[in-house]
Structure 1
Amino acid sequence: MKKIISLLAMVLAIQSFAQSYAKVEVGPEEDISLKIPTDFISMTDQDRMKRIYSSKVPLAQFANENQDVTLGVNYNIMRWTEKDTDLVYGFYKASVNNLFDEIEFIQDEIKEINGRKFIIFEFVSTVKNDNAFSGSRAAKNYTYIQYTSYNNQVLLFNFGCRARQMGTYQTIAKEIMNSIEIDD
């Protein structure tokens, strides 16, 4: 009986730490849906401009309460159809590799999710600071990016946090990315 009570207590404790999700719909016609953690909030334009350096306003940008974990949905006007996936994969892999001083891929593949082909890059990256007077060290980050063809353009999903937070957020990032559904 004590074993059963202990097991039940452990299951309840694990469930209390389980992440809860909410389904959100984004895009011009809200035809892109994904699950995000319920404690993530939509970033304001001001918050987004402080954290994300881009001239283009994303379709959606979310963050946790501390805004040190972000999830973005964006697009690129580069022409791409699903038959070009292998070619686009090589282009994006080279681009990702050139952005960082060091990169360690966890996932690097083309995979079908919910009936759609995605290019997936999951990695830990390092950007070194060569300025001896800045007082800051190298930045190490965990990133999970997925690209897919959408209306003959590139649709991308980007999850990011500090590498030290990876243990907390890697499973959550995978849950989000595997929940993506697109109606076109």
Structure 2
Amino acid sequence: MRILSILFFLTLSLVGLAQPAANVKLTNTKLGTGLAVGVPSNFVAMPDDGIAVKFPSPRKPIAVYTDPSGRVDFSVAVRTTTFESMDYAVLSKVYKASIQRLYTKVDFLKEDIRTVNGREFIFFEFVSTLTDNRRSSQLPPIKKYQTIQYAIKGPEVYVFTFTAPAEEQRQWQPTGLAVMNGINLK
């Protein structure tokens, strides 16, 4: 009887932790002609100087939204591409290899070509680990939970990235998946 009670309370606590993506509140945000994204309601737009510090690159994202702690981000970037939409199967392999080269270790949870709001996307969900392998380094590995979606529109590829600390994956996974399902690219 005691074991049954413990199992019951354990099940209830696990159900409470795993919130379905449908419960995530998103705010529809228009980023330009033909592009709207669902942003978690408590996220704020990162200012340009914050983007420049957190994403140091000559090709900065067109928008970055962050949670109040600044540890979880959703970014949207646009890059020029020579690929066409019919190349999604090939492009998926190219981007997977690119992701694997960026990190010391990548554990893919899901990879797919899927349709969201009438548009095809290449989708990856994974946990990345980046280790500083210098002999003098005392830094611990950086582990992140990430979802990334790619879509081609004309000569451009749109890159949507949701990133959270790996130790908070259970908390942020429903939000990351909801955000990816809230993209509307016409």
Name the TM-score class by shorter chain: 0.7 to 0.9
Where does structure 1 lack aligned partners over 5 or more consecutive residues?
1-10
8 Å Cα contact 1:114/1:181 also seen in 2: yes
Distance 1:74 1:114 in 2: 19
The residue type paired with residue 27 of structure 2 is A
Deviation at 1:80, TM superposition (A): 2.4
The C-alpha deviation readout for 1:38-63, integer Å capped at 9, x for no partner, is 11010011111221132113221111
Corresponding residue to 2:165 among 162, 171, 176: 162
Q: Which residue of the partner structure matches residue 34 of structure 1?
A: 37
Match of 1:87 among 90, 101, 119: 90
Q: Which residue does the alignment assign to 1:77?
A: 80
Among 58, 63, 83, the residue aligned to 2:61: 58
Q: 1:44 aligns with which of 40, 44, 47?
A: 47
4+ residue runs over 2 A deviation: 131-135
Tell me the CA shift for residue 84 of structure 1: 1.2
Question: Is this contact kept in 1: 2:151–2:158, CA < 8 A?
Answer: yes
Matches within 5 A, 1:125-140: 125-140=128-143
8 Å contact from structure 1 (residues 81, 153) kept in 2: no
Structure 1 residue 151 displacement after superposition = 2.1
**Residue identity matched to 1:149:** I
Q: Which has the higher contact order (CA 8 A, sep 6+)?
A: 2
2:152 is aligned with 1:149 = yes
Give the TM-score of the pair, scaled to structure 2.
Answer: 0.83
Residue 3 of structure 1 aligns with which residue? none
Percent identity among equivalent residues? 26
Deviation at 1:167, TM superposition (A): 1.1
Cα distance in 2 for residues equivalent to 1:159 and 1:117: 18
- Residue identity opposite 1:131 in structure 2: R
